[in-house]
Amino acid sequence: MIADQLRNELDVPAKAVIMAEGKFSDLSAKTAKGVIRYSEIFDVVGVVDSTLAGKSASDFMEGDIKDVPIFSSVDDALENREADVLVIGVAPAGGKLPESWVEEIKTAISSGLHIVSGLHYFLGDSEEILEFARSADVKIDVGTENKGADRIKEIGTSKNKKTKKVKIFDLRKPPEFDDLRVATGKTDELDRPKVVLTLGTDCAVGKKTTTYELYREAISRDMDAKWIATGQTGIMIGAHEGAVVDRIPSDFVAGVVEEMIYSLRGSDIVFVEGQGSLTHRAYSGVTLSILHGAWPDAIVMVHDPNRNKREHFPNFDMPDIKKEIEVARKLSADDTEVAAISTWSDGKEIEEDLGIAAANVRKGGRSKLLDAVLEKI
């Protein structure tokens, strides 16, 4: 999987500059902020956002965040910091690559920086970027996961020993077709690890954060714990297994998730990051496939009680959390329960109303949530 590539092909922790142009102060930069806060793969030395240049990442993030300066451009960042990697930290609406970012990526490539991208637009397939690499005498390698791209590997084949070699990691590229399969229940026959899945009432609500915090809490208790990412940010953070499931053909999403759990057999417990929401008209298909592939022993529901509308979808009202819990239970195994609720509030009101343990993982609540999960399983 691509998660292994980052660990094996980069000098971890790699010094990284994050591209978040015009977006670092809002929810669109959740990848950038997740990497800064948690990543075991990258040591972030700078953020690029010309609208916030001169400020620090900590000005826009809660908690104890290290001082990461914000620069006006990649050039500006590299004049002030040494870096190995440019990380694309925002997924623009519609998945398109802003034209102004192309020039910044070219600057990074000409400076010898590797590129890590979670965009729907594959940088390793961009003729403009590849032509630039030729002209700049840079050899581009699109990575071993992206097979069938021999024409790209030939770029920059100069015999000049000083030729820069740059890797492009398009994290959203799905596995090769021969590596895809439908879910078969193969993990049901194992002495498999206990599986805990985070589901949510919306997008950008904290499923990745909750998954990672529960994993870290389990590790602090000397449990043999692992975690699986289903989005690009979790892979950049350093999940043990990961695939960006929204680019995998729908028939095979559950099978890919099942296969990742199978690869971690022997662990005590595996935490699986969910995506979207089971009642979200835009994303429920992916959410349900992850649920069926994970077939969890317990579910942790993630909820922001202060939202009235779906994030980025003003025509969609937020669901009642009771409905989301009911749907999750009906679509899971008969004995699977929503064991806990990870919430942006202090959790007291939700806990009293639903009779389910609720807490904020970012404000000391992860131990309480893991206790509730372990009690259920």
pLDDT, residue 136, reads 80
Would you place residue 325 in the very low, low, confident or very high pLDDT band (cuts 50, 70, 90)? very high
State both tokens at 19: 């591209």
Whether residue 312 is found in the same domain as residue 197 = yes
pLDDT at 264: 93
The enclosing domain of 67 has a CATH number of 3.40.50.720
Pair (314, 347) in one structural domain? yes
The mean pLDDT of 79-86, rounded to a whole number, is: 96
In a shared domain, residues 166 and 187: no
What is the pTM assigned to this prediction?
Answer: 0.87
Model pLDDT for residues 155-206, shown as the tens digit of each residue = 444 444 456 788 999 998 888 888 899 999 988 877 789 999 999 999 989 9
Task: Tell me, yes or no, whether 144 and 17 share the same domain.
Answer: yes
Q: Tell me the residue range of the domain where 219 lies.
A: 179-376
Between 91 and 24, where is the model more confident?
A: 24
Q: Are residues 157 and 226 in the same domain?
A: no
Question: Total structural domains in the chain?
Answer: 2
pLDDT in tens, 17-43: 999 999 999 877 889 999 999 999 999
94/222 same-domain check? no
Are the C-beta atoms of residues 350 and 303 closer than 8 Å to each other? yes
Encoded tokens for 135: 């002209």
> Of 152, 173, 194, which residue sits at a domain end?
173
pLDDT of 150 reads 35
Query: What's the pLDDT at 151?
Result: 34
Spacing of C-alpha 2 from chain mean position: 12
Q: pLDDT value at position 63?
A: 82
Angle between helix 207-220 and 30-38 (nearest 10): 10
Short-list 78, 97, 86, CA closest to 32: 86
Tell me the C-alpha to C-alpha distance, in Å, between residue 97 and each of 88, 110, 123, 247. Answer: 10, 19, 9, 17
Of the three residues 173, 207, 235, the one that is the final residue of a domain is: 173
Burial of 318 (0-12, 13-18, 19+ CB in 10 A): buried
Q: How does 248-260 read in b/e, with b if 16+ C-beta sit within 10 Å?
A: beeebbbbbbbbb
- Cα separation, 213 vs 27, whole angstroms: 19
In a shared domain, residues 112 and 224: no
Q: Of 151, 173, 195, which residue sits at a domain end?
A: 173
pLDDT at residue 213 in the model: 96
Tell me: pLDDT of 105 over 60.
yes
- Reported as a single tens digit per residue, the pLDDT across 338-363 is 999 999 999 999 999 999 999 999 89
Q: Can you spell out the DSSP letters for 327-373? A: HHHHTS-TT-EEEEEEESS-SHHHHHHHSSEEE-GGGT-HHHHHHHH
135 and 80 inside one domain = yes
Residue 173's pLDDT is 87
Q: What pLDDT shows up at residue 143?
A: 56
Q: How far apart are the first and last CA of the chain?
A: 29
